[in-house]
Amino acid sequence: MRALLIAQKIYTDNHNPLHQGNVRIDMEDVLIECVPNFSEGRNLETIEAIKSAILSTPNINLLDIDIGHDFNRTVITMVGTPESVLEAAINSSKVAYELIDMQQHSGEHARMGAVDVVPFIPLTNASMDLCTEIAKKYGEIISSECNVPIYLYGEAATSTDRVSLPNIRRGEFEGFSEKIKHQNWRPDFGTIEFNKKSGVTATGSRNMLIAYNVNLDTDDKSLANTIAGKIRTSGVLKRNSRGEKIPDNDGKPLRLPGKFKSLQAAGWMFDETTAQVSMNLLNYNITGLHHVTESIAFEAQKLGLQVLSSELVGLVPLDAFIEAGKFYSSDGEDLSEKELVNAAVVGLKLDVIDDFIAEDNIIEWTISKNRS
């Protein structure tokens, strides 16, 4: 009830009066997406308890649960009204902090806390400002009641150093006991006392991103990371002939920018024999699924490798599939939405690992299915 009242106040403060043009917008017509990442991908009882905490919240649509055993990480996608999303995020986080001990955690994916990141994303009739205020309220409550230091990132970031989630996460759980003491890395909410069991959590507001991985026919993660460095926005460090970093006038290492804008990428392992380029597409209208897939295939070929398959983590907007479908179709303008989606699935090799069910992976179609 408290989370509901808080969210109502946040909504009223950010939407006063509650009108857009001549149309009145009720709170029930506002939809927020939340994609919390939990550092547990192996203990199904813990994952089920987190899931139950979300499902017990009124007005929540739980759209997807992506469980990664090797990453030891679970990504949940939920959509609901502002008050329901805030309440579900708080309740599920409390369950995770109780059941997950980061001192016993290991996994392939970078992580810094039992609840690693909790982003709030504007959907129907929602603004970025509203999502920022919800993130701040989440941080206030969690830091106070769970004794977990909270960092704000994305559009909610309080400094340029904290806009990028990988920048906050650098050093991971093992490094945060010292990192949190530095003046530049004091948490936005909570004390500088490191929580050895739960770690730290990032929350914030952002546009919808696409978490997308492309798998290669090699077990050498360094080759995947080489490709990632060529395509990601941040590129790679400049080095001299001796392999040493080249600093700028302020002593910071210079970088060679990568090929694409709005792209994060790194080399990881899909399983023991398969390396992958793991990516976040921060703006799919600028850098799309087909752009990165084709570029990875090109770079892989130069290294004597091939793309085996790809996978999505969480849900994807329909527009992203439509654009990829047009790229992989010779007559894209004459195809239906479903035909374009099918073309994208085949072109991106999303159906190689397992059957790809579009209704469970495209956010608009999933919401429509849940309402029917």
Residue of 105, 109, 290, 291 marked active site: 109
* 105 part of the active site: no
Structure token pair of residue 84: 């329901």
Long-range contact pairs involving 179-188 (C-beta distance under 8 Å, separation at least 24): 180/149, 187/143, 187/149, 187/150, 187/151, 188/139, 188/150, 188/151, 188/152, 188/158, 188/162
* Three-state DSSP state, 95: helix
Identity at 127, one-letter amino acid code: S
Residues in Cβ contact with 22 at an 8 Å cutoff, skipping those fewer than 6 apart: none
- Cα 268 from Cα 111, distance rounded (Å): 13
Q: How many CB atoms lie within 10 A of CB 61?
A: 18
- CA of residue 284 relative to chain centroid, distance: 13
* Three-state DSSP state, 42: coil
- CA of residue 109 relative to chain centroid, distance: 12
Which residue's entry shows tokens 């709005």? 262
Helix axes 44-55, 82-99, angle to 10 degrees: 150
- Cα 114 from Cα 79, distance rounded (Å): 22
Identity at 238, one-letter amino acid code: K
- Cα 184 from Cα 79, distance rounded (Å): 34
Identity at 114, one-letter amino acid code: A
- Cα 79 from Cα 32, distance rounded (Å): 6
- Cα 226 from Cα 276, distance rounded (Å): 11
> Half-sphere exposure (CA, 13 Å, Cβ side) for 247?
4
R_g of the chain, CA atoms, integer Å: 21
Residues labelled catalytic: 109
